[in-house]
Amino acid sequence: MIDLLDISAQSEGCGTEKKYRLADYFNRWWDEYTKHPTEYITPEQYKAANAIRVCRTAALGIDTYACPECGEVREIYHSCKNRFCPTCGWRDTLKWAARMKDKLLRVPHRHVVMTLPHVLLDLVKRNKKEMLNIMMRTSAEALKIWMMKAFGLKVGVIAVLHTYGETKQYHVHTHMILSWGGIDRNGRIVVPERSKVNDAFIRSIFKHTFDKLLCLQRLTH
């Protein structure tokens, strides 16, 4: 097993620990890992890793700017713009969060997590696009249906898909922000007085909707 802590343990004078980017880890170990991978590496993963490795380097090009007055010259390296690149994605994430914040209803919100049973993970790996789309649609739909049934409210849901857990094992789940309040049939914004969530009912809706959408897909078993 590759010890990822090895590189971050080095320091640069006066006890100051050097900061590393994900690209540094890829550049140090990626080529070696691809010779004996522990799991199949998808084309998307190859594309992301190779993009991250050269992000903001001369390999992607350089823009040179010079001040006509003082003569100072600065070089700006091009970014990879891959959505999995943390260097590129961080700024985009902040912009996305700001846009979402402006769209939120002025009501309380709750954090909801839905996890796909691990028995389906092999099927997901062979049919990622179809299965992950179903997971995203079903997760949000289950909450919307329950809030309408329970309170007669049309609510908002922001869903983010995660395919790995804290232990870095394949673990498909969605994190969602649910507006604990919504628009009723008269167009008014209403916050439910009751705060209890009917977990069993939501699971039932999720399973029914997931199975229904799954049956409509032509998957590789």
Lookup: tokens for 128: 């990622």
Do 122 and 208 sit in the same domain of this protein? yes
Q: What is the pLDDT of residues 42-101, one digit of tens each?
A: 898 999 999 999 999 999 999 999 999 998 999 999 999 998 898 888 888 888 889 988
Domain end position, chosen among 95, 127, 152: 95
Do 112 and 198 sit in the same domain of this protein? yes
Q: How far, rounded to the nearest angstrom, does the alpha carbon of residue 5 sit from its chain's CA centroid?
A: 24
129, 130, 136, 142: CA torsion to nearest 10: 180
Q: Answer whether residue 5 is part of any domain.
A: no
Do 193 and 145 sit in the same domain of this protein? yes
The contacts found for 106-110 with CB under 8 angstroms, 24 or more apart, are 106/189, 107/179, 107/180, 107/181, 107/182, 107/189, 107/191, 108/179, 108/180, 108/181, 108/191, 109/177, 109/178, 109/179, 109/180, 110/177, 110/178, 110/180, 110/197
pLDDT surpasses 70 at 8 = no
**Residue 177 burial (CB count, 10 A):** 16
Do 65 and 135 sit in the same domain of this protein? no
Q: What is the mean pLDDT of residues 11-31?
A: 76
**Residue 113 burial (CB count, 10 A):** 10
Domain that includes residue 188, residue range? 104-215
pLDDT surpasses 80 at 12 = no
d(Cα 126, Cα 189) in Å, to the nearest integer?
43
Q: Which residues, 6 or more positions from 203, have their beta carbon under 8 angstroms from its beta carbon?
A: none
* 123 touches 221 (CB < 8 A): yes
- The residue among 133, 131, 132 whose CA lies nearest residue 219 is 131
Do 203 and 108 sit in the same domain of this protein? yes
Q: Answer whether residue 190 is part of any domain.
A: yes
Q: What is the mean pLDDT of residues 189-213?
A: 90
pLDDT category of residue 220 using cuts at 50, 70 and 90: low
Do 24 and 77 sit in the same domain of this protein? yes
Do 167 and 84 sit in the same domain of this protein? no
Q: What is the pLDDT of residues 97-144, one digit of tens each?
A: 899 888 889 999 999 999 998 899 888 888 888 999 999 999 999 999
Q: Answer whether residue 221 is part of any domain.
A: no
Q: Answer whether residue 3 is part of any domain.
A: no
Domain end position, chosen among 95, 117, 147: 95
How many domains in the chain? 2
- The residue among 113, 87, 89 whose CA lies nearest residue 171 is 113
pLDDT category of residue 1 using cuts at 50, 70 and 90: very low
Where do we find the tokens 């199949």?
A: 40
Per-residue H/E/C for 170-217: EEEEEEEEEECCEECCCCCEECCCCCCCCHHHHHHHHHHHHHHHHHCC
Do 85 and 108 sit in the same domain of this protein? no
Domain end position, chosen among 72, 95, 118: 95
Model confidence pTM above 0.85: no
Do 83 and 126 sit in the same domain of this protein? no
Q: Answer whether residue 220 is part of any domain.
A: no
Could you tell me the CATH number of the domain that includes residue 177?
3.30.300
d(Cα 129, Cα 104) in Å, to the nearest integer?
28
